[in-house]
Amino acid sequence: MPGSPDTAPCGFTLIEILVVIVIVGVLALAVTIGIATAGGERQLTREAERMQALVDHACTQAELSGREIGVRLDAGGYAFATLGFDGWMADQRKDELRPRVWVAGMSVELMRDGHPLQLAGNTGEPPQIVCFSSGELSPFVLRLRLGDIAAYYELRGESDGRIALVRIASRT
Distance of alpha carbon 98 from alpha carbon 135, whole angstroms:
21
107's CB contacts (< 8 A; 6+ apart) are 144, 145, 146
Beta-bridge partners for 71: 80, 129
- Residues 69-83 have pLDDT tens digits of 999 999 889 999 999
Query: Domain for residue 111, yes or no?
Result: yes
In this predicted model, what pLDDT tens digit does every residue of 11-65 receive, in sequence order? 888 888 888 898 888 888 777 766 655 567 888 999 999 999 999 999 999 999 9
3 found inside a domain:
no
**Cα-to-chain-centroid distance, residue 133:** 27
Q: Nearest-CA neighbor of 79 among 92, 98, 60, 64?
A: 98
**pLDDT reading at 112 higher than 70:** yes
Looking at the structure of the chain, the number of domains it has is: 1
Residue 8 lies in a domain: no
For the entire predicted model, the pTM comes to 0.73
Tell whether 1 is covered by a domain.
no
Name the residue range of residue 84's domain: 14-168
CATH number, domain at 43?
Answer: 3.55.40.10
C-alpha count within 13 angstroms, C-beta hemisphere, residue 6: 1
- Please indicate, yes or no, if residue 4 is contained in any of the structural domains: no
Per DSSP, the three-state class of 163 is strand
